[in-house]
Every structure is written in C-alpha cells, then in structure tokens.
Structure 1
C-alpha cells in the first residue's frame, strides 16, 4: 500500500491546481531544455515503451513520440494531463500521483520525470515506484533543479527577499527525513537508495532567454512555491517585489531588452 500523501504533497496539489495554462505560457520552455539529454539518458528510441510522469504541457511526451516511442503520460494536475492530451494525441494520458501509479510491474522500457521530483513529498518512494513499473534493465531518468541555484534561478527570489516577503504558514517544506542534497552526489545517492543500478548523474547548464514580463508573470500567477511566497502579502507585496525585480533585471538584460538567465539542473539515471 502506498503511503498517505504528506503535507508537502497536499500543498503542491493546491499550488498547481489550475496552473496548466500560465505554466505553458511562462516556464514550460525553460523546463524543455534538458529534454533531449533526458531521453538520451533513458535510451528512448523507436519502439520504446515510455512513461512521462509529471508530463506538464507534454514537451517530453512529444519529443519521445518524435523518436518513434510508444508514449504513456501521467500528471497529478488534471489540467496538465489535458494539455498533454491536446499536444500529443497519440499518448495514453492519465491523472495519477506519485508514488502510486496505475501501471503493472515492469510495464515500461523507460520511465522519465522531468523536474517532477521537486514536487513530491517522498522523492525516494517516487523513484522506487518508477523502478517498479520499469522492466528489469530498463532505465529511469530524472531531472531536478540544482541547489544552490544558478543566478537566473535566484533572480525572482532575490526580489522577494528584498521586499521582505516570507513563506506563508500553510506552505510546508519537505520533511527533513525525505529531503536530500540537490547536488550530483545527493541525487545519485537518492537513486541508489531506490535500488536503481549503475546510477550516473551530471549537471546540465544553459542560458534561458526570456522577456522580463513573461519571466515575472509565472511567479505573479502563483506558479510554484516561489509564486506563493510572492503572493503572500497581496498586491502591495507584489508591487514591492516588482520594483526590486526591475532593478535586478539590469544584471541580465541584453541590448534587445531580453533577459539572459543562467540555469543549472541535475540529470540522473539508473537501471531497474
């Protein structure tokens, strides 16, 4: 029997409810950057039977279909699942939550989670579930955001801090016993604890180009924990943080007015 959802899980579902459309417009393109490397790590190719868990807007699913894979997808947020159905009509898409997925043992050649481990209350159990549904010798491949974050990742957080905004009481952090270092060593150890074999982990770094208003919009619309902190003091708090943000953007603004934001993620994979 799967463990009951944690307070962190409940908060994540509240945060992401109804956010499919603003996510697609703001942060989906950012999260798409590691997709090709993630599919390579999972050895996704023609005929592969693949699960894209935490499918979001369908970026990973679409890329896997383009490689000739047979794609299944799941997301805890119904709006995200529907967005993937529209983007990838051939995919079998379901609403489902980690660490309890509606698939039999050994169903897939590869299970992929692009930034999904950042959003589950029990990351090790989530990986154990991905291993369960992957055939022996198949691959589980995941990405997470590195911590400490690259300068582009911390831009809005710095503005929030300058405005004196703090995490609301209802928004819990991951329980200490479920947390892990967001480093190559920490993520590799987590995969090992889930009994994945031959684990490898590397860092992926890139520069994300985006206009300042679009980058701000995602947080202002309440996407992610950062967006909840930004909105924690209402319109006044948002306005104060926006003033700080406009000043900080000068560090990243190019001659054409766009921001060039350095980001860094971790990519890890192991065999079931």
Structure 2
C-alpha cells in the first residue's frame, strides 16, 4: 500500500500496517487505561509549541483528545487528527470546539503552511518512517512555526517495564502479526541526542530536547486493564497467548506490582519521556 507525501507516492511499511491493526477499535480501552499516563506531558508540550490564544494548532495522533481539549482551553484554533475511528470519536467528545478528523500519517489532508504550530504526543513511536512523518509535519506548519513532540525514552523507566517483565516471565511468544520494530535505516536512538539529531536531519531549526520524569499513579486493576483490553503492542501480545499463558502473565504482573505498591493501594510507576521541539 502507498500514500502520497508531497506529491510523491510513499509505500507504507509493515510496521505502519501492523499499527493500524493493533489499535483498531481500542479507543475505549485506551481511554480507561493508558490515556491518563499519556496526558501528563500535555501542558509542557503545548508550552513548547507556543500554543495560546488565536494560534492555529494541529494535534496529530490526538488519541482521546487530551491535547486538543487543552489547546482549546488556551484559546487556540485547534484541528486534530487520528488514524483510528474510535479515537476520533473520543476526541470529538473531549474537544467539541476542535475540528477533529480521521487521517493517517504520513499524508495529512492539509495545505502547506496551514498551521502556526504542530504537536504530536507519543506519535513518533507509532510510525514506520519517522523521517517522512517529520517532513509532513514540517510541510503543514508555517515558516517559523514550532513542531513539538514527545516519545518514550529508551531504555524505558521501571514503571514502563512492568507489563513487559510479566510477559517475559510468563514465556509469552510474539505472534508473527506483531512487528519486531522499525527497519534499521528508519530507526533512531530514543535519547535526547538521538531525537535532536532526527529533528535536525529533517531540516528543522533550533532543535532542543529534554527528559520528563514522573511517577504515574494508578490502581493495579487500571494498569492491568490496558494489556487485558489489547491496548498497544503489549496488549496485543497478551491477547494473542493461550488462556494458560495469559493467566501466567497476570500472575507475574500481580507479583511484580508489589514493587510499586503504595500505602494507599495504588501503584507508583516511574516513567520517562522525551519532549522535543524545533522550528520550521
């Protein structure tokens, strides 16, 4: 399958197509599990992009619409897109003042230089060709406008590893429909220098990147509801296992969760994300 980028036909990768399948219909499960986690960087993301009153901002990969709603609350003129229909439905409810559309990277249905700023919260993790994605974001933002984005840092923080540790301890096997990762020529180091270098390679100016660290608070039931609901790669991996292996994953999850338990019964899960921005 191909999509059009800047007038050129760009083939989508196996990773892209797998991501579409992984997230299909997962909006409600995401909203009830990981959406709160992913909302944490939103204020800093909007600050980095200079989002304020009257700013024409595009929220790419809006998910449940948290960033779009926050941008509307700042008085911005907001357009938001997501590749998954159930996410679009959630975002329209969360941000009724925004223009929310169904659209997939790397071809966005907008004119050149249509926006003053673009934000992408945990989106670059989900595309097969990050360089093509940045080229498209650069195309739709005006000269001098900011692009701000977040990705998960590597190596992942302890809280982010919890579910993966349970999966590994149970001996789960990755099914063939889940991608192993990006092609070597498309990947980049998920650290501050690697993300800054990717932005600079995309002909963006004044690139800068920092690391956000926080403890995400969630009940064990809430945190387990993500993989149990098939959310993201880990959830699809869990749901592809036999009932016995799924039960073993849950058993290991319960045991490992004790490391993060607080006196109030919630888990305190350390996470780390990269927040970067650059100017067209």
TM-score tier by shorter-chain length is over 0.9
Shift of 1:2: 4.2
Structure 1 match to 2:192? 184
Q: Secondary structure at the match of 2:10?
A: coil
Aligned pair 1:24/2:38, yes or no?
no
User: Could you tell me how far apart the structure 2 residues matched to 1:105 and 1:177 are?
Assistant: 27
Structure 1 match to 2:140? 133
Q: 1:221 aligns with which of 195, 206, 229?
A: 229
Q: Which runs of 4+ in 1 moved over 6 A?
A: none
- TM normalised by structure 1 equals 0.98
User: Could you tell me how far apart the structure 1 residues matched to 2:238 and 2:92 are?
Assistant: 31
Q: 1:232 aligns with which of 220, 236, 240?
A: 240
Residue by residue, what CA displacement relative to the aligned partner does 1:79-131 show, whole Å, maximum 9, x if unpaired? 11111111111111111111100000000010000000011111111011001
Question: Are the equivalent residues in 2 in contact too, given 1:165–1:232 (CA < 8 A)?
Answer: no
C-alpha distance 63-2 of structure 1, shift in aligned 2 (>3 A):
farther
Question: Are the equivalent residues in 2 in contact too, given 1:2–1:100 (CA < 8 A)?
Answer: no
After superposition, the CA RMSD in angstroms is 0.8
Structure 2 match to 1:15? 22
Structure 2 match to 1:66? 73
- TM normalised by structure 2 equals 0.96
Question: Are the equivalent residues in 2 in contact too, given 1:231–1:237 (CA < 8 A)?
Answer: no
Question: Are the equivalent residues in 1 in contact too, given 2:72–2:78 (CA < 8 A)?
Answer: yes
Gaps of 5+ in 2: 1-7
Gaps of 5+ in 1: none
Aligned length: 272
Structure 1 match to 2:3? none
Structure 2 match to 1:270? 278
Residue by residue, what CA displacement relative to the aligned partner does 1:124-180 show, whole Å, maximum 9, x if unpaired? 110110011000000000000001100000001000010011321121121111111
